[in-house]
Structure 1
């Protein structure tokens, strides 16, 4: 069986290759061709399977080379099997007209299956913020249950030590995001579905979205009405003020409208260079004002030289 081809894009590699560790595990496990009709999706699977360009590339790769890396599945009570990984590969097999796909059967409990499911998908490109949010929350809850700790709906504690690793380490394992960024994604689960969709659609940026996640559900509903009436989404500064008013119990229709109707300040575009980086180029007697004057003069000369070069 061929293992690769020069004309396969990087996107399709995401769907047909796994980590070296996974491949080593597969060598020790039995691979079975299983009918697609017996394979069922993971419950509450957070990652959408979309028919986009990368899916077309995966279908073409599977038509040419087959499925090079087996899916991981676990038995269900009714005798069929539940996909842990490879939901996209299964869909690609369906589009390619294949009746079966190779799988490895593992007896996994819910928490172990959840962690593998998240880790096997989270490295993909083009994952929506809401998908990351749900996936990271599912993994965090599974880690806590494995450690014998209750899941807390609105808390992301990351300092406890679980068998030599903190939950911060475990949550960030096999993830492209830092533990701090993961916590920010998890906060998005506190947004209403409509606001989550606006984050996915890039109508609300990630940083203000995290601030808005601290608003009460009824305040978020009111915010949606205000966004529609004002035809504007909150900036970071506005989101921070909305959060502060909410925490103080002062956020209502009038205060929200007042904040949202304010003219947004333009983003600062300042450039700061530390003095210690510049000092070596100047006599010790030079003041910051003198250094600035020399820098401006040099930049003026550089600009005039560029203009002369362009006119030649």
Structure 2
């Protein structure tokens, strides 16, 4: 029986004259120069790009030597490319007044892109608590979705079906944190932006911030007013009591103000001597370290004399 002619697939002219090597080369990743105007930020990118001293140093380096490590981007349906890794490098190129930057273009699904984006930024030395919080949340969600896919879809370099472990366990191993600590960081994403900024600025410590994240949004807004009125931020014990009152439905602005007006034990035990107070007792040439060493010697001498007097 003769096969139908319509089932015969004819090779294109390009296929006939292309070699296996050239076809492999077409599929190989390439570094291409892409105009900065065609590079768009990653959706919900959790890492801040700030024009600080480090950024200006990077821009100066880019101006002299170019971008040494290409960015990674993926094509957008609406045109242009979405940056996956390289937001700071793009900003440095803008400050260096460049028009293009080298980019590796990859076809990545949403979860693959999230994982690469987070991993490329977690290598930085200084990461704000808010950045870490949202990064952990995004990557953990992506890893959980990958874990639920069929094995053949999950065998990629970023998937690997989670090696039989829970997503949170694998993430903990990758970032060098305990699983518990990862979830504590993720709790920070429940803070309103104003309070989360205070955590980044070290006005509120990490542990109290985790407790405050359990307050309702409107309670957190009221807490901002209470902190402003009392010119104080909550200690861990105060934050725990605020959480307890919230759980019991008794957390009012009056209760918050009463708690925030308390003198903290650390404040009662603390003695603060500012540099302005101390400078008048020392030569102008003295550094803060020399002043500290001199004060410690005087205190030690006073303590020894007092001990001798008591023993007489």
Taking structure 2 as the reference length, the TM-score comes to 0.69
Total equivalences in the alignment: 234
**Which residue of the partner structure matches residue 208 of structure 2?**
208
CA distance in 1, matches of 2:227, 2:36: 45
| Structure 1 residue 230, shift from structure 2 partner | 1.0
Flag the 1:267–1:29 CA change in 2: closer, same or farther, 3 A. farther
| Structure 1 residue 194, shift from structure 2 partner | 1.3
**Which residue of the partner structure matches residue 90 of structure 1?**
90
CA distance in 1, matches of 2:108, 2:64: 32
| Structure 1 residue 179, shift from structure 2 partner | 3.4
SS in structure 2 at match of 1:218 = helix
Q: Which residues in structure 2 correspond to 1:121-132 (within 5 Å)?
A: 121-132=121-132
Task: Say yes or no: does 1:100 pair with 2:100.
Answer: yes
| Structure 1 residue 139, shift from structure 2 partner | 1.2
CA distance in 2, matches of 1:177, 1:64: 38
**Which residue of the partner structure matches residue 37 of structure 2?**
37
Task: Say yes or no: does 1:135 pair with 2:135.
Answer: yes
| Structure 1 residue 178, shift from structure 2 partner | 4.1
CA distance in 2, matches of 1:144, 1:92: 34
Q: Which residues in structure 2 correspond to 1:289-308 (within 5 Å)?
A: none
Task: Say yes or no: does 1:183 pair with 2:193.
Answer: no
> Is residue 140–residue 168 contact of structure 2 (8 Å, CA) maintained in 1?
no
CA distance in 2, matches of 1:256, 1:81: 48
Segments of structure 1 that go 5 or more residues without pairing to the other structure are 1-27, 150-160, 270-302, 308-312
SS in structure 1 at match of 2:58 = helix
**Which residue of the partner structure matches residue 229 of structure 2?**
229
**Which residue of the partner structure matches residue 111 of structure 1?**
111
**Which residue of the partner structure matches residue 70 of structure 2?**
70
> Is residue 188–residue 213 contact of structure 2 (8 Å, CA) maintained in 1?
yes
| Structure 1 residue 79, shift from structure 2 partner | 3.0
For residues 82-119 of structure 1, give each alpha carbon's deviation from its aligned partner in whole angstroms, at most 9, with x where no partner exists. 11000001111121122221111111111110111111
**Which residue of the partner structure matches residue 61 of structure 2?**
61
CA distance in 2, matches of 1:170, 1:81: 30
CA distance in 2, matches of 1:172, 1:58: 31
CA distance in 2, matches of 1:124, 1:179: 21
**Which residue of the partner structure matches residue 256 of structure 2?**
256
Q: Which has the larger radius of gyration?
A: 2
CA distance in 2, matches of 1:44, 1:106: 19
SS in structure 1 at match of 2:263 = coil
CA distance in 2, matches of 1:148, 1:140: 13
> Is residue 184–residue 210 contact of structure 1 (8 Å, CA) maintained in 2?
yes
CA distance in 1, matches of 2:105, 2:181: 33
CA distance in 2, matches of 1:194, 1:257: 18
Flag the 1:173–1:98 CA change in 2: closer, same or farther, 3 A. farther
Flag the 1:118–1:268 CA change in 2: closer, same or farther, 3 A. farther
CA distance in 1, matches of 2:258, 2:99: 60
CA distance in 2, matches of 1:176, 1:123: 12
Segments of structure 2 that go 5 or more residues without pairing to the other structure are 1-27, 150-160, 270-299, 305-312
**Which residue of the partner structure matches residue 144 of structure 1?**
144
| Structure 1 residue 268, shift from structure 2 partner | 11
| Structure 1 residue 166, shift from structure 2 partner | 2.1
For residues 266-306 of structure 1, give each alpha carbon's deviation from its aligned partner in whole angstroms, at most 9, with x where no partner exists. 2899xxxxxxxxxxxxxxxxxxxxxxxxxxxxxxxxx78xx
| Structure 1 residue 173, shift from structure 2 partner | 5.4
| Structure 1 residue 198, shift from structure 2 partner | 1.3
